[in-house]
Amino acid sequence: MPVTAVNAPVEYVTRSFPACSGCPARGEATEAQMAASWGWRERFRPARVRLLLIAESPPRTVGEAPLRHFYHPAGPPPDTLLRALAPALLGTDALAEGCPAAKEAALRRLAAGGFLLLDSAQCPVNHLPTMASRREVVRRCAGAVLRQQVAALRLEPEARICLLVRGTVPAAALPVLGELGLGSRVPHPGGLPFPGRWPGHREAFQRGVRQAAAAAGWEFP
């Protein structure tokens, strides 16, 4: 399969890292989806990172449906994470659901401020059969692939790191960040809740993100 024009690593696209061997999440994404996911993230990657959000994994995309990904402007709704993040960091609720132009504008503004989202697990884990398998996949992938990605980042001196999805991400990502000497940059080691259907979770997520961004010197509108 040809790799996308943004030079997605073959190792990433084909899932040939040592941790990928026997991984139950490997079949949750195709090589085309992996290449596309890499490409969209690269399009909105800041040169220097001020606020890093480490989430659990990208959502699952079924078959030939449009790619479900935080960084895909034409991805299908509901765009739950971006719709919670934009008001917290950009001060706007103007992200029109289903409008690619509005989503792209928000992503460009986030990138200009130094925001980046990375995943602990590179393949979707939300459809794995048990929570134990989900935790194991997130842990193994974070120890190999996420570690490589974070080590390659150029961080601002005051950069902060937020962990999203409390049940899986902190246990997987904190050891990685500690090994890289970045543990002190995590203001909420227990992680932030995913801003889904519960209003309290959305409010706690937005409050935590704003606190971290303020400590990182984020320029709020």
pTM of the full structure: 0.95
**What local confidence, expressed as pLDDT, does residue 2 receive?**
38
> What's the token pair of residue 83?
């719709």
**Per-position pLDDT tens, the chain of length 221:** 333 446 789 999 999 999 999 999 999 999 999 999 999 999 999 999 999 999 999 999 998 888 999 999 998 888 899 999 999 999 987 676 668 888 999 999 999 999 999 999 999 999 999 999 999 999 999 999 999 999 999 999 999 999 999 999 999 999 999 999 999 999 999 999 999 888 899 999 999 999 999 999 999 98
pLDDT at 1: 36
- First-to-last CA distance in the chain? 43
What is the layout of strands, in order, in the sheet containing 155-163? 115-119, 49-55, 155-163
User: What is the pLDDT at residue 97?
Assistant: 61
Please tell me the predicted confidence (pLDDT) of residue 43: 95
Query: Per-residue pLDDT tens for 44-103?
Result: 999 999 999 999 999 999 988 889 999 999 988 888 999 999 999 999 876 766 688 889
In the beta sheet, which residues pair with residue 163?
Answer: 54
CA distance 125 to 180: 25
Q: How confident is the model at residue 4, as a pLDDT?
A: 45
User: DSSP letters along the chain, please?
Assistant: -PPPTT---HHHHTT-SGGGTT-TTGGGS-HHHHHHHHHHHHHT--SSEEEEEEES-PPP--TTSPP--TT-TTPPTT-HHHHHHHHHHHS-----TT-HHHHHHHHHHHHHHTEEEEESSSS--TT-S-HHHHHHHHHHHIIIIIHHHHHT--EEEEEEEEEB-TTTHHHHHHHHHHHTT-GGG-S-TT-B---SS-HHHHHHHHHHHHHHHHHTT----
Asked if 95 and 83 touch (Cβ cutoff 8 Å), the reply is yes
pLDDT, position 44 = 97
Strands 115-119, 49-55: parallel, antiparallel or unpaired by DSSP? parallel
